[in-house]
Amino acid sequence: MLKELYLIARPSGLKRLIAVLVVTVLQATVQTIAVFSLLPFLSAVSDIAAFRRSALGRLFVQVVGQGSSDHRIMLAAGTLALGILVLGNGLSLFSDHYRTKFAFSVAQDLRVRLLRQLVARRYEYFLGINSSVLIKNLVDDVGKVGADLVLPALDLVSRVLIVVFMAIAVLFVEPLVVVIGGVVVLAYNRLVMHPIRRKAHATSGAILDGIRQLHFEIFQALGGIKQILAAEKGGYFVNRVGQASSRMVRAMARVPMYAALPRSGFEVLVFGGMIVWVMSSIVAGENLAVLMPRIGFIAVVAYRVMPSLQLMFAQAALLNSSRQALDEVTGLLREQDRWLAAGQPPADLGEDRLGWSHSIRFERVSFGYQGADGPAVAELDFKIGKGERVAFVGPTGSGKSTLIDLLIGLLEPTGGRILVDDRPLDAGRIGPWRRTIGYVSQDLFLLDGSIAQNVAFGCDDDELDRARVLEIAEIAQARAFIETGQASGLDTVVGERGVRLSGGQRQRLALARALYFNPSVLVLDEATSALDPVTERNVTEAIRRGGGEVTVVTVAHRMSTVKDYDRIHFLENGRIVFSGSYNDLVENEDRFRSFIADSV
């Protein structure tokens, strides 16, 4: 586990990690010195004459001054102990803050790194995974890696160093205490803590499953809130969320018990052991006055070491109980390694846009989804000239949207190839190619932000060209409702997925977004289905007037949208059955006439 945590933390800065470890070692060293600085003070206060005769006392007197009075020696010992104690605690506060800052910066870097890797993956990946799982990975699991794994691991190193340094130092003063204490701690770890860690690990798995299910159920409930309210099914989804939450809570309720057991056990071991030591000394007839400085010193050591011992085992249990989150995150990272090995993420060669001058061509292109019985599209062979307007029509399930995803580069052909100006659209050209495309999907997505932010999609506010937004809104037939129907104009917040707008308004904003960056290819997948016929006609005319050399590729069910297009391809069962202009197809293809009649 520590090796995996190191591999996760290293990208955040090896020098910073080394600095954290150096500060941690320094903290343990000063803490040990601070505790042992009490020994001269306790010895001097208890019996100054005996202290002067001891080896430690003679060394201390030489430092203070041979002619120093007893009063001065005791004050010097007390001042030294107090100063080192203040220094040690100050350093401990700084070290704790430094470790915490580093741990959460690791989580922050990891979250950004994972998201950057995820958005580099191809579209097929997201077809096979629920978004709620990825949200949990990026928010909960990465957060637990920082708070419940990296930070406890660093704290564990700190506590181990403190205990080891203290034990080594005490070994020179009370070797028997160290030997007996070590045996007791090891036995306690084996007999008590080992079973607790196994149970904590099982509880961690139950909590992870509960969190995953809870995310899924909440995501389902809120994602379909309109349909849920319309069908009066709120109670059903509330019950599902409640059941998932109940299972998670039952597992989480056991965690504090596992965390408290080390503290309670060590209190009994440490202070019980000291009581037994004093009682055995009384029975043996030892002089308690001579013994008290040693007992006081060991009591101080125990006071300083016991929290570290408690935290060591508590943090070990926390690391074990949070292992599942680490497995989830490292699983995502290993997935990315497999994608890189397979050459999956599209490489971006740095071009802003892919310049092209004459054609886009599909050569016998086929594609099949994983697990499907057959290909979604097969043997597609067609050509789109620069500046042409081309439409793809056909019944539902005929492969139109898959064809569009192939054209955009979201999907990679499983057979054949796509050429742009007779050059294959390979991984190195995908990024620049996408930047030449303005795309409006049938499943509209709007940011929960302002109208201007939605049109200038992906632009920071200081880069946003408001004049350009209004210009494009005019072409998309959106300017009127922006300026007259919205109280804040371009700054009107549209709500989650544009819930405050009508379907037609959302579609017009999506059109404006597609046109904002001056695309050379405009891809419209059912882009005007929510518009009335008059608005649809106005939008189509405005795009044609303002498009210049824009190549328009459309998927449509309403034939009024594509009547004057240069070419219409009719798809059925993933294949192009026939192609031609609207008038030619009406005149020569019975199936096309039937399709028009059915679509009216």
Q: Was domain 448-518 assigned CATH 3.60.15.10?
A: no
pLDDT at 348: 47
Q: Which of 249, 253, 246, 241 is nearest to 215 (CA)?
A: 241
Calpha distance 333→121 (Å, rounded): 12
Calpha distance 129→111 (Å, rounded): 18
The tens digit of pLDDT for each residue in 267-325 reads 677 777 777 777 777 777 776 666 666 677 777 777 777 777 777 767 776 777 677 78
pLDDT at 120: 78
pLDDT at 289: 65
Give the CA radius of gyration of the chain. 36
Instruction: Read off the amino acid at residue 52.
Output: R
* Pairing verdict, β 377-385 and 359-367: antiparallel
100: Cβ contacts below 8 Å, ≥ 6 apart: 151
Letter string b/e over residues 504-526, b meaning 16 or more CB atoms within 10 A of that residue's CB: bbbbbbbbbbbbbbebbbbbbbb
Beta-carbon-side half-sphere exposure of residue 122 (alpha carbons within 13 Å):
20
Calpha distance 274→258 (Å, rounded): 25
pLDDT block averages, 10 residues each, the chain of length 600: 82 86 87 76 75 76 78 84 83 87 88 84 78 82 84 85 81 76 78 74 74 79 70 79 81 70 69 76 71 70 73 72 79 72 48 82 92 88 91 89 90 91 86 88 81 85 86 82 70 78 83 86 78 65 66 84 88 92 90 80
Q: How far from each other are the two terminal CA atoms of the chain, in whole angstroms?
A: 63
Q: Distance of CA 212 to CAs 35, 411, 592, Å?
A: 47, 28, 48
2: which 2 tokens? 């520590």
Q: Which of 505, 412, 509, 439 is nearest to 469 (CA)?
A: 509
pLDDT at 209: 77
Q: Which of 559, 551, 561 is nearest to 521 (CA)?
A: 551
Per the CB < 8 A criterion, the answer to whether 207 and 325 are in contact is no
Per the CB < 8 A criterion, the answer to whether 562 and 556 are in contact is yes
Calpha distance 312→314 (Å, rounded): 6
Q: Distance of CA 184 to CAs 160, 273, 511, Å?
A: 16, 10, 73
Calpha distance 150→9 (Å, rounded): 8
507: which 2 tokens? 């579609």
2-341 with 448-518: one CATH topology?
no
Per the CB < 8 A criterion, the answer to whether 157 and 21 are in contact is yes
Calpha distance 376→127 (Å, rounded): 14
- How many other β-carbons are positioned within 10 Å of the β-carbon of residue 485? 12
Q: Distance of CA 74 to CAs 48, 145, 200, Å?
A: 8, 49, 50
Q: Which helix (H) or strand (E) holds 438?
A: strand 437-440
Q: At which residue do the structure tokens 């071991």 appear?
A: 269
Top-level class of domain 2-341: mainly alpha
Q: Distance of CA 466 to CAs 249, 323, 425, 462, 562, Å?
A: 49, 49, 34, 10, 31
151: Cβ contacts below 8 Å, ≥ 6 apart: 99, 100, 103, 104
Strand partners, 579: 569
The tens digit of pLDDT for each residue in 443-491 reads 778 888 888 888 888 888 888 888 888 888 888 878 877 877 555 688 8
Q: Helix, strand or coil for residue 373? A: coil
327: which 2 tokens? 């497995």
Q: Helix, strand or coil for residue 283? A: helix
Provide the residue ranges of all domains of the chain, joining segments of one domain with +: 2-341, 448-518
Calpha distance 550→387 (Å, rounded): 5
Q: Which of 1, 362, 29 is nearest to 165 (CA)?
A: 29
